[in-house]
């Protein structure tokens, strides 16, 4: 497609990645993973975790994700509780904290290989190993949640942004 045409959004066809989609590049592989379950939780996080996901750690930026459940901190009083499967939760107020289902809020993308950190640094200004207690960060100006898992970097991208960020990651890995 000529670049002049490529600037016309009516011609944009880059798709939202599906689980199993991959980008293979020199030194880095990007994979779209299946999402399990998730819920947004705000308020008394300790109480929320005790009830919803007992024993789940509250993780910050670049922290290693254990097997679910876990909680990814998004703000002082907000977290994304993640699980292996969609959560059966009562949405609403729970005496001290609020819950909203968010199973499909994010697309999960995994970057692994020796260039994974470099690719992330292309789009994320905050160092993943900087010790931030909050896992929410901006990737090329769009909100993502960044953690690590089994030697890879795991990004949770809001679903409507996934097509664009997937294409951008494809370009950055070249």
Partner 1 sequence: MSGWRLPSGGAIDRARPLGFTFDGRQFEGFAGDTLASALLASGTRILGRSFKYHRPRGLWGMGGEEPNAIIDVTDAGVTTPNLRATLVPLRAGLEARSVNASPTAERDCWAVLDLLHRFLPAGFYYKTFMAPDWMRWEPSIRRMAGLGRLDPGNRPPADAVPMNARADLLVIGAGPAGLAAARAAARNGRAVWLVEEAPAIGGALRWRGGAIEGADWEAFAADTAQTVEAAGGRVMTDTTLWGAFDHGLYAAWERRAGRGDRHWRIRAGEVVLAAGALERPLWFANNDLPGVMSAEAGLHYLSLYGVAAGRRVLVACANDAPYAVAGALAEAGAQVTLADARADTPEAPEGVRLLRGARISRARGTREVGAADVDGAHLDVDTILCSGGWTPTVHLFCQAGGKLDLDARRDALVPRPGTAPMQVAGAANGAFGLQAALDEGHRAGGGTGPAPRAAAAADWAVMPMRPDPASGGRQWIDLQNDVTFKDVKLAAQEGFRSVEHLKRYTTLGMATDQGRTANFAGLAALAAVTGRSVEETGTTTYRPPFAPVPFPVIAGPRRGELFNPPRRLPLEPAHRDLGARWRDYGGWLRPATYGEGDEAALAQAEALEARQAAGLYDASSLGKIEVIGPGAAALVDFCNYVRMSTLEPGRARYGFMLSESGVVHDDGVVLRLAEDRFLVSASSSHTASVRLMLEEARQDRFDPRQVFVHDVTAHWTTLTVTGPGARELILGAGIAEEVAALRFMRVAETAWRGVPLRAARVSFTGDLSYELSVPARHGGMLMQALDGARAAVGACWIGLEALMILRAEKGFVLVGKDTDGVTMPQDLGWTGPREKRTDEYLGRRALFTPEARRADRRQLVGLEAEGEALPVGAHAVPLEGQRRSLGFVTSSHMSPVLGRPIALALVEAGNDRLGQEVGIFHLGETRRARIVPACSYDPEGTRRDG
Chain positions contacting partner 1, by CB under 8 A: 1, 3, 6-7, 9-10, 12-16, 40, 42-44, 77-78, 86, 91-93, 96-106, 118, 121-127, 130, 142, 158-165, 167-168, 171-172, 174
Tokens, residue 150: 């089994």
Nearest approach, Cβ of residue 56 and partner 1 (Å): 19
| Gap between the Cα atoms of 107 and 65, Å rounded | 16
What lies within 8 Å, CB to CB, of 64 at 6+ separation is 147, 148, 149
Nearest approach, Cβ of residue 12 and partner 1 (Å): 5
Backbone angles phi, psi at 58, to 5 degrees: -100, 110
Task: Pick the closer one to partner 1 by CB: 75 or 150.
Answer: 75
Beta strands in 84-141 (DSSP E): 92-93, 97-101, 106-112, 136-139
Nearest approach, Cβ of residue 98 and partner 1 (Å): 4
Task: Pick the closer one to partner 1 by CB: 64 or 129.
Answer: 129
Nearest approach, Cβ of residue 3 and partner 1 (Å): 6
Q: How many helices (H) and strands (E) does the chain have?
A: 4, 12
């Amino acid at each position: 497609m000529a670049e002049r045409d490529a600037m016309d959004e009516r011609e944009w066809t880059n798709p939202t990645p599906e689980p199993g989609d991959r980008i293979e590049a020199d030194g880095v592989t990007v994979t779209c993973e299946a999402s399990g379950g998730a819920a947004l939780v705000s308020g008394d996080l300790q109480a929320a975790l005790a009830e919803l996901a007992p024993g789940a750690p509250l993780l910050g930026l670049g922290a290693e994700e254990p097997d679910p459940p876990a909680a990814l901190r998004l703000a002082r009083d907000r977290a994304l509780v993640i699980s292996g499967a969609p959560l059966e939760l009562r949405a609403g107020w729970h005496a001290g904290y609020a819950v909203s289902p968010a199973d499909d809020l994010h697309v999960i993308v995994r970057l692994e290989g020796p260039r994974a950190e470099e690719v992330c640094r292309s789009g994320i200004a905050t160092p993943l190993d900087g010790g931030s207690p909050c896992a929410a960060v901006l990737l090329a100006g769009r909100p993502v949640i960044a953690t690590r898992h089994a030697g890879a970097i795991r990004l949770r991208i809001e679903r409507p942004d996934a097509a664009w960020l997937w294409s951008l990651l494809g370009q950055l890995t070249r």
